[in-house]
A = this chain, B = another copy of it.
Amino acid sequence: MATLLSANLEPTMNRLGNAARSAAVQLASAPSAQKDAALRAAAAACRREAEAILAANQRDLAAAEQRGLAPAMLDRLKLTPGRIEAIAAGLEAIAAQPDPVGTELARWQRPNGLDIARVRVPLGVIGIIYESRPNVTADAGGLCLKAGNAAILRSGSESFHSSHAILAALQAGLAEAGLPASAIQLVPTTDRAAVGLMLRMSEQIDVIVPRGGRSLIERVQADSRIPVLAHLEGLCHVYLDQAADPERARSITLNAKMRRTGICGAAETLLVHQAVADRLLPPILAALAEAGCALRGDAATQALDPRVTSASEADWSTEYLDAIIAIKVVPDLAAAIAHINRYGSHHTDSIVTDDAAAAERFLAEVDSAIVMHNASTQFADGGEFGMGAEIGISTGRLHARGPVGAEQLTTFKYVVRGQGQIRPA
């Protein structure tokens, strides 16, 4: 658990990679019952070792306070008995999900008698690079295991000791179920150079999943030689259409912005059709202000409420993750769609309207992973979608778009069964 010198880093990472590759081979053919037993044993170990995990977390918290980490960050880092129970329950929930591996996605016969099946298989070795929340260690490790993948986790330096304590519980679960401990590994150093090495281990890692702020994701996307499942920011919009029901407009906006401001599905920008702005906006602005939300708007919005300060161009592309909202009055539906496609992060965007044609146009033309009609953007969540746990919401277009759960951590192969067929000239 000691921080390694950089000189030892490359062989260490290589060893991790080779161990993960071997574990992945074993996991690929591990029966569902064995993987689920490991997940349940890991949950039990989390509960059994709760005190050790809390003690490790205390070390992280003390160091973080000393370095003057912001209260919001300290809260993300902090574990409590309740949060450890949630981690354990999360592992059990993953165990209760169906195993995606082995599913026949399609099967057909060719006229020449060849039988072709498309079958789900694990991705292989997944490298996950994340920041402060220690629970990601269990969520990400558990989901990778469920889908038959080996995981190499690189936790943030703030949660270094907490993550290692949680890892110990995960590895205890693996051992109890007879699976290799190297199925889930943690990079044993806070040296940032380890990330650079991970991104070039293309022989040993099949996919990189970065979880964190914009600078981390951008660095990973720029430097990685390995395919990346990008989880970019959630710059989500609510658009109140000309035909929006006023009460729905109010409750959805309030919920989308204020239920929890720090999650990627929280709305950051409110767009309003000009024909109804005068009528719809004032009560919504008042309710947001009352709930403690800072209001930043264009001139039309400022004219409606003195609490609205002037929004700058930068506000349309800022993910606040805080009790701040940017508000703009737009000439029509087309302008709302154009604004979202230009400034949004292709994550989750919602239209509030009673006009079915307007809704269908919005759903078709907004180019985001999740598009919604008359619903809060805060539903952007694998659990809320009924997909079980998630690593995050992918804003990339390839492979996995939207919530990434165990199923999205698989690929497939074609299995072709013949009776001696050869291809004619």
Contact = CB atoms under 8 A, between A and B. Distances in A.
A333 interface: no
Interface of A: 28-29, 108, 110, 114, 116, 121, 123-124, 206-207, 221-222, 225, 227-229, 245, 247-248, 251-252, 254-256, 259, 359, 363-365, 367-376, 378-379, 384-386, 396-399, 401-402, 411-423, 425
A123 B397 contact: yes
B423 A411 contact: no
A419 B116 contact: no
Contact of A379 (B367, B378, B423): B423
A385 B379 CA distance: 39
A217 to B, nearest CB: 13
A254 B401 CA distance: 43
Nearest to A377: B423
Contacts of A415: 363, 371
A386 B107 CA distance: 12
Contact of A419 (B114, B247, B256, B374): B374
Contacts of A206: 397
Contacts of A256: 422
Given A363-B417, A371-B414, A376-B423, 20 more contacts: A29-B364, A29-B365, A108-B386, A110-B384, A121-B367, A221-B225, A227-B397, A227-B398, A247-B420, A248-B420, A255-B423, A256-B422, A259-B422, A259-B423, A370-B414, A375-B418, A375-B420, A379-B418, A379-B421, A385-B414
Contacts of A422: 251-252, 254-256, 259, 375-376, 378
- Indicate how many identical chains form the complex: 2
A397 B228 CA distance: 12
Given A369-B413, A421-B379, A396 B222 contact: no
A256 B416 CA distance: 15
B418 A374 contact: yes
A17 to B, nearest CB: 15
Nearest to A422: B255
Nearest to A253: B422
Interface of A is mostly: mixed
Contacts of A225: 221-222
23 contacts: A28-B365, A110-B384, A110-B386, A114-B379, A121-B367, A124-B397, A207-B397, A227-B228, A227-B396, A252-B420, A254-B422, A256-B422, A259-B423, A363-B415, A367-B413, A368-B413, A371-B414, A372-B416, A374-B417, A374-B421, A379-B416, A398-B411, A401-B412
A259 B425 contact: yes
Contacts of A420: 245, 247-248, 251-252, 374-375
Contacts of A417: 359, 363, 372-375
Residue among A222, A227, A256, A359 with the highest chain B CB neighbour number at 10 A: A227
Nearest to A359: B417
Contacts of A370: 413-414, 416
A102 to B, nearest CB: 9
Contacts of A227: 227-228, 396-398
